[in-house]
A and B are shown apart, each in its own frame.
Chain A
């Protein structure tokens, strides 16, 4: 029997925690000094090592305090009290220049704003709308701040608000509202760059995030575990949210990278309504106070990243002594990202491609700037650079290829030449192109699938044959290495769709229906699945699009880029059941081409938002890594 070390070169180690997948994933919470006055719904300001907390609701609830405390990285010291007592207020700024505003005082909803100068509080301009439950719904510094949302009394149209107010150091001005009314939400940032996530409408929890760009709020990805009373540190492109009531008190921590939320290490003490260091960062912040039951607590925890980080090895097996389980570090599609690949020797638009991974791809035909409108060029990619290989016999645009074939054996067929639809067909043997038997029906902008020069399919597109079903072609033909056979039609006619798979298991993804009245819109999210006999409609994409890139198989595929009609960077993953949005490409493109698998793919060239000229840049998709428990049945 072989030993694991002999197979992979690594020992199976025993560890108490899973290895981290990224620097941010090395973060952890450690205990800090306790507040002198336990409280929840308190205001916060400053950084992890110079944090300020003020006001809040203390024990026994409901009672309120005006206490101010300063943290030095080790312990909290009492400073001068505020001029009022209240809780559930907003706070922002630094330990020497902070603002506390709004909240709830024994007299009711408060609009009071007080300014801290490092030694004392002074009353300044009131909010336009006094309101409570805005702790952590705040951003900025003492001269430029932002507060949003809040609680609305019963009997009003909703129990929560969308109102946003901007502070200029003197007075508050109403600006554009949140998209979703909410209170007890977590937020942070600056007056021109803020983020908020979670909270409640009063009628139910709010999962969504919203980002503020200085003018308006945009709804962004929802977090993983919806909750209220969460705290947050960061901004619209890098944020950490932690704690909350879901509805039980949790210590969950999630990181937002500008597009999606990832779960990280939990707090030791689950709670809600604590405050973070409002001027902290995703590398260093803290959480002070809150409640872990009706009782307010004094607990402080500090978040820091590891001083060093080493990426784990793919395939590493280890024993986690805490969870008492064997685990392995494996590829994980949901945490995949796009990195830049080598540039094509020349731009390419509405070309086609094949290949098995982002280190083995082939792209061919299409437009090529400058001035080559029906290119016969072909290129192969090795993971670093593109090499020009033998050209096809016939140059064309909008051709199809056996998308899932390796670069050593493929087929390029149909398409268009100057003013004509093509039925021509050429096979590739890794050295040269050979003309093969024509398709039965000429056409272009169809979807190609298949695994070699002797096993391929063509579906949809546009053709001189226009069936009664729609403005475009629905026909499907299968190539067996000798001839094309017409088989069952697609259910919905469309062109410029994406496709992946084999002649017995393929997908037809999205496309342009050329019909503004098509259900869901002209640029459709519709997907059909081929079982070797017939097409069946399955779950839609999240975003309808055409001229997109695709990779993978019938049960595990990616769709990326395309026109919505605007060029998009959006990437979606098909797991055999549904489509999930993943990390975007860096460059929006349409009319590019894609190939590979769902764990290793290429997005090649296309039309940018400022084409012509077309682009030659490529992007490589790599699935990320994550740790999975090994189960033995």
Chain B
């Protein structure tokens, strides 16, 4: 597995540090889903942020759900505001 998947709330400063970003892949996605490089440093970060481990399928379902919510919210916006945004599109986690 190239990646591990977890959910964790970004509390802001030092949620992930510059040093950590040197040592493993990290990408945030809707629903507080984080895709984490599968190495020792990534494991340590998941522990630090008390990440709840998910399978890829579980993580994808969370992202899909958030995007569905966002699509509904976008569709409900007045046209003037829709013009300033883009309708969210579904995508696959790596």
Q: Using CB atoms and an 8 Å cutoff, list the residues of chain A in contact with chain B.
A: 22-24, 190, 192-193, 211, 213, 235-238, 257-259, 282-283, 311, 335-343, 349-350, 367, 373, 384-385, 397-398, 418-419, 563, 565-566, 569, 583-584, 586-588, 590-591, 607-613, 617-618, 620, 622, 624
Contacts and interface: CB of A to CB of B under 8 A. Distances in A.
A237 B14 contact: no
Interface in B53-88: 63, 66-67, 69-70, 73-74, 77, 80-81, 84-86, 88
Given A340-B15, A617-B10, 19 more contacts: A193-B2, A238-B37, A257-B22, A257-B23, A336-B18, A337-B18, A338-B18, A339-B14, A339-B21, A340-B14, A342-B13, A349-B85, A397-B84, A566-B89, A607-B85, A609-B67, A612-B70, A613-B73, A624-B22
A587 B15 CA distance: 13
B2 A563 contact: no
Interface in B9-48: 10-31, 37-42
Given A211-B2, A337-B21, A367-B84, A235 B38 contact: yes
Contacts of A211: 2
Contacts of A343: 10-12
Contacts of B26: 586
Nearest to B14: A340
Given A419-B80, A617-B10, A586 B1 contact: no
Contacts of B11: 343
Given A586-B26, A609-B88, A192 B18 contact: no
14 contacts: A22-B23, A211-B2, A238-B41, A257-B24, A311-B19, A338-B18, A339-B18, A342-B12, A384-B13, A587-B28, A607-B85, A610-B88, A612-B85, A620-B18
A337 B19 CA distance: 8
A612 B77 contact: yes
Given A238-B24, A340-B16, A343-B10, A609 B29 contact: yes
Nearest to A343: B12
B60 to A, nearest CB: 13
Contacts of B80: 418-419
A235 B85 contact: no
A419 B2 CA distance: 48
Given A193-B2, A193-B38, A610-B70, A586 B21 contact: yes
A192 B1 contact: yes
* A contact patch SS: loop
Contact of B23 (A23, A367, A584, A607): A23
A283 B74 CA distance: 47
Given A257-B24, A341-B13, A610 B30 contact: yes
Nearest to B20: A339
B63 A237 contact: no
Contacts of B17: 339-340
Nearest to A383: B13
Contacts of B38: 193, 235, 237
Given A237-B2, A337-B18, A608 B10 contact: no
B86 A563 contact: yes
Nearest to A621: B18
A588 to B, nearest CB: 8
Given A192-B1, A397-B84, A608-B30, A237 B13 contact: no
Nearest to B63: A610
Contacts of A283: 40
Contacts of A566: 89, 91
Contacts of B39: 235, 237-238, 282
Contacts of A563: 86
A133 B28 CA distance: 39
Nearest to A416: B84
Given A192-B1, A609-B30, A586 B70 contact: no
Contacts of A22: 19, 22-23
A278 B62 CA distance: 35
Contacts of B81: 367, 373
Contacts of A565: 86
Nearest to B74: A612
B2 A213 contact: yes
Contacts of B73: 612-613
Contact of B10 (A311, A340, A349, A373): A340
Contacts of B67: 609-610
Nearest to A419: B80
A209 to B, nearest CB: 13
B39 to A, nearest CB: 4
